[in-house]
Every structure is written in structure tokens, then in C-alpha cells.
Amino acid sequence: MEQIVINGGKRLEGEVYVSGAKNAAVAIIPAAICANDICVIENLPYIEDVDGLTKAMTQIGAVCTQRDDNTLEIDSRNITNCCATYESVRQIRASYYLLGALLGRFGEAEVPLPGGCDFGVRPIDQHIKGFTALGATIDIEHGMIRARADKLVGTNIFLDVVSVGATINIMLAAVYAQGTTIIENAAKEPHVVDAANFLNMIGARVKGAGTDVIRITGVQKLHGGTYTIIPDQIESGTYMVAAAITGGDITVRNVIPKHMESVISKLSEMNCQISTGEDYIRVRGGGNLRCVNVKTMPYPGFPTDLQPQMMALLCKGHGTGILTETVWENRFQYINELKRLGANIKVDGRTAVVQGDARLTGAQVNATDLRAGAALVIAGLAAKGETIIGNVRYIDRGYERIEEKLSSLGADIKRINREV
């Protein structure tokens, strides 16, 4: 059983390079199915979710060749199997993109109901609504979702909730559909735009990604190509928060500052000093952090995937902060673990009231999901003494070499393999 051990209290300093965006990567790998050709995907993060999805692609018959840790060649010409097995996708939420991509290309797909991090009900009704509107028939039986269509025809789809997954999945299903599909109330996240840019690179006609109306005009044929994934917004934010909580001075490189505006704004409000260049953000923590209120929202709002890390940071600010989670119904499960480190947080429904000036001290804790794991690392960096974090596999799903990157900034952090 692997654990991360942190001796907290070190000020972090230096430069860190951000990896490619997980949530773009897990959409673009299945999107390569649509190409029916060879695609080379660069700047992939070296993380468990990418590895898992690559295995699932292989299982359905794509030939995946790892050129190096961050570059994958996918040859989707000989896919013979439209059915992903439970074993190949059970831990990956993004397996649902196989559904849209296979349905779009073959008119047929069978994929297990998605797994992934557990923070309450994670419905996919909007994906299904989109596929059905395009002309597919959907059945859910024995834990599998089956989609079939003789023909997909473009139509108007208004999403009832802003959903990243449904927006991308409908784009994937619609690339070959006859006529034009219009997604209204679409998600605007950077990874939605990245997936659309990838599809356009292979010959699709997707317009409007990044706004709340996306138009996809079906084409007859797509082709291969080489595509570079954007930097990870959430990994960038995690290192920015690490700078803030340790009173450090970190330059986060290979970022798109525009994607970080909501985070820059909150950290500035907390008294961090921030400067940006074309592809970097420098965060200086200083000693006078103050608590603020944060509400998570779809992009360009403050990302829910940075809510736990921000919670850890608020513990060290002066005063009281209120954190409201509006995207997921139950994303506060990790707070009990933060409390073991000394956090003083009261939860009422989707609102958490954080009492700042907490005296954090190291303890043994467990990651309850990916970003919860990141929050425990952040808190551990500021806690006095030794923090031991279990369930590291969650963290590995989304962070490339987190302990190496933090060590290079001066953190006392290591991974150990403890016998159970």
C-alpha cells in the first residue's frame, strides 16, 4: 500500500511545470475513435486515468503505441468491437466518452455505467437525452448502457444542466451525423474547447466551443493528425494554492493564465501577490493571508475541482471563509480528514464555514477521492510534523509525479510502500 509522507512547514520556492490537462486527455483519447485513422496525442499527462483509458481503447481494438511518457499514437482504423468491458473501465468516469465516440462512428456502442470519484449521484441523463435526440435508442441493462442508431440526424439539444461530459459526448456523437446539431447551454470549460479543437483538427466542423452554443455540422469522413493537449487548469491551481499556504514563491510554468482568472482573483483577494506572463503565473504567499468566500461554478467560475484545495488554504487564512459548492451535491466528504489535521470547518448542506488561523498538525489521513487527496497534500505541506496520506491511488489518477514536483520546490515529501 503506497502512502505519501510529508513533513510540513517548509516554504516552497522555485518553478514547476504543469502537465497536460487530465480532463481534456480523457476526452481526446476516445475522440481518436472518430478519426478512423492514426492520431498522435502530445502533452498527455502521465497519470492513471490516461493509462486506464488507453487500456480500454486497446480492448476495443485500437492500436495504442506509447511513444514516450507523454505521447500516445492511436490507430483507430481496425476497431472491431463496440463493447467496452467492465474490467477495462470500472474506475474511470470518462469511459462515458467511449459511448459518444463509438456511437458516432459505428452507430452502436455498449459501455458499462461509469465509475470514478464518488461525490454523490453522478447522473448521465443529459448525455442520454442528447444521444436520443440525435436518433439513438438507449437501453440500460445489467449495468451496461447500450446505444444504437441506424442513422444519427442533427438537431437542437438544450442541456438542462451545464454538463462538461454531456457537451463533449454529444459533440463526439454528432461529428458524423447528418446536418447540424446545436447544443445550447453547453459547458464552456477549457477542456471542452480542447476537445472541439482536436475534432476540428481531424476534419470535423465544430463551431462555438467556449460559448454556451455549440454547432456541429456532420461530415462524411475524418482523418488523423497530431494534437497537443492544453495545460491542466486544476494542477496549475493546486501549485498556486501550495505557494499560498506555505508563504512561498512559486512560478507555475506551461499554463494558460486566461484559464486561471477565477483562481488568480481569489488568491489576490486573500493577499497573495500574483504576476503573470504569456505562459506562467508567479504566486507569492506572504504572511498575511485572509479568508474569503468562494462559490464553485461552471467555467469561467471558480472550479469545483479546486474546491478541496481551497478549503485547505482557507484554514490558514485570518478570519472566517464560506465555501459553497454548487456543482456537486456531496463533495465535502474529505472534510473529516482535514479535521484530523486540525481544521475547524462546519458543514451545512452545500456550504462549509471555515474558521481560519487553524493550527494544523500532521496526522494519518486517507484520500477519499482525487481532489480530496490533493487537499490533504496541501494541508500536509502547512501542517507541523508528519502527515501520512493513504489511498494515494486516487491522487495518481490525476496528478503526474506530484511528490517529485513538490520536492523540487523544497517540500519534504516522499512516497513509501508500507506492508499491509
Q: Which of 134, 181, 193, 130 is nearest to 159 (CA)?
A: 130
Q: Does residue 125 interact with ligand EPU by CB under 6 A?
A: yes
Q: Which of residues 367-386 bind ligand EPU (CB under 6 A)?
A: 370-371
Among 23, 181, 254, 307, binds ligand EPU (CB under 6 A): 23
Q: Does 190 bind ligand EPU (CB under 6 A)?
A: no
The answer to whether residue 122 forms part of the interface with ligand EPU (CB under 6 A) is: yes
Among 398, 400, 402, 406, binds ligand EPU (CB under 6 A): 398
Residue 305 binds to ligand EPU (criterion: CB under 6 A): yes
CB of 103 to ligand EPU, least distance (A): 15
Residue with cell 497573495: 272
- Considering the rule CB under 6 A, would residue 266 count as an interface residue with ligand EPU? no
Q: Rounded to the nearest 5 degrees, what angle is found at the Cα of 198, between the Cα atoms of 197 and 200? A: 65
Angle at 258 between CA 254 and CA 259, to 5 degrees: 75
Instruction: Please identify which of the residues 64, 82, 117, 291 carries the catalytic annotation.
Output: 117
Choose, by CB under 6 A, the member of 165, 321, 362, 373 that binds ligand EPU: 165
Give the number of other CB atoms < 10 A from CB of residue 348. 7
Query: Looking at 127, 266, 316, 405, which residue binds ligand EPU (CB under 6 A)?
Result: 127
Please tell me what DSSP assigns to residue 169.
H
In the complex, least distance from residue 9 CB atom to ligand EPU, rounded to whole angstroms: 27
Closest-CA residue to 409 (of 282, 278, 233): 282
Residues in the chain: 420
Report if residue 166 touches ligand EPU, rule: CB under 6 A. Answer: yes
Residue 304 CB coordination number (10 Å): 18
CA proximity to 369, closest of 347, 390, 388: 390
Kindly determine how many residues on this chain lie close enough to bind ligand EPU according to the rule CB under 6 A.
25
- The nearest distance, CB 189 to ligand EPU, in angstroms, is 6
In this complex, which beta carbon is closest to ligand EPU, that of residue 160 or of residue 269?
Answer: 160
44 binds ligand EPU per the rule CB under 6 A: no
161 binds ligand EPU (CB under 6 A): yes
Q: Which of 24, 34, 87 is nearest to 56 (CA)?
A: 87
Single out the residue of 12, 56, 117, 222 in contact with ligand EPU (rule: CB under 6 A).
117
**Within 10 Å of residue 138's Cβ, how many Cβ atoms?**
18
- Does residue 328 touch ligand EPU according to CB under 6 A? yes
When asked if residue 124 is in the footprint of ligand EPU (CB under 6 A), the reply is yes
**DSSP H or E run through 396:** helix 392-396
What are φ and ψ of residue 223, in 5° steps?
A: -145, 175
What are the angstrom distances between the C-alpha of 399 and each of 22, 237, 344, 396, 404? 8, 12, 27, 5, 11
The amino acid at 368: T
Based on CB atoms, which residue is closest to ligand EPU, 263 or 274? Answer: 263
* Cα–Cα dist 194/192, whole Å: 5
**Residue 34 annotated in active site:** no
**Residue 163 interacts with ligand EPU (CB under 6 A)?**
yes
Q: Does 157 bind ligand EPU (CB under 6 A)?
A: no
- Name the site residues for ligand EPU (rule: CB under 6 A): 22-23, 26, 93-94, 117, 122-127, 161, 163-166, 187, 304-305, 327-328, 370-371, 398
